[in-house]
Amino acid sequence: MELYSGYVNRLVSELAALPGIGDKSAQRLAFYMINMPPEKVKRLADTMMEARSRVKYCKECFTLTDSDMCPVCSNASRDHSVIMVVEDTRDMAAYEKTGKYGGVYHVLQGAIAPMLGVGPSDIRIKELVDRCSKDDGSISEVILATNSSIEGETTAMYISKLIKPLGVKVTRIASGVPVGGDLEYIDEITLTRALDGRVEI
């Protein structure tokens, strides 16, 4: 037996399909939205549609942005010779919150995961190699900050084998980041210590 009317059920169902939103959270959000003033609902819907249509990947590092270049890549005061490689934009945001890293990033948009059918060609590894292959020697270091999971470690080792022959120093963030931990959930102090304690691989 359906507890609510068709439109409420549809709204709850759509919200529950979002990652990290369970049935109870979906119901709370649905009821909140239904009771919002119509102009706020329209503003929320318009913002979602605009974000979906205008947000794209930065042409340099592949994080999400609404410009050709993200604020980090377009910032002349950043050290563009050091690239930190992360799995997704949330990991990049986690390091930016520390305020301790002054280089730039490369967002892979995933990690190598053969069991899930994700290979090296499915993420932004080729683009990273292209950035490091410039004849001007502008890249001095690549910091591998993929997650401390099997997939993250596999990805880090694969990238290291491609980048080191190019004459670029390759380092890995220290093990202050717990094995199996996702960077986006780790506190700023631990992330800073992991960055400071990185080792060459």
Range of the domain at 88: 70-200
Is the predicted pLDDT of residue 3 greater than 70, yes or no? no
Amino acid at site 15: L
> Does any domain span residue 150?
yes
Instruction: Give the mean pLDDT of 53-71.
Output: 94
C-alpha distances in Å from residue 88, one per residue of 95, 110, 164, 183: 11, 6, 23, 10
Distances (CA, A) of 71 to 8, 63, 74, 160: 40, 10, 5, 27
Q: Taking the complete model, does pTM exceed 0.85, yes or no?
A: no
Residue 139 shares a structural domain with residue 93: yes
Question: 78 and 129 share a domain?
Answer: yes
135 pLDDT above the threshold of 80: no
pLDDT at 137 over 50: yes
What is the number of domains present in the chain? 2
Residue 99 and residue 81: Cα distance in Å, rounded? Answer: 18
Tell me which DSSP letter residue 198 carries: -
Q: Tell me if 65 is assigned to some domain.
A: no
Rg (the chain; Cα; Å): 20
- Provide mean pLDDT across the span 168-184: 73
Token reading at 129: 């190699």
In a domain, 63, yes or no: no
Instruction: At 168, list the tokens.
Output: 């670029």
User: What is the predicted pLDDT for the residue at 149?
Assistant: 82
What confidence tier does 11 reach under pLDDT thresholds 50, 70, 90?
very high
Q: pLDDT by residue (tens digit) across 22-39?
A: 989 999 999 999 999 999
- CATH number for position 158: 3.40.1360.10
3-state secondary structure of 175: coil
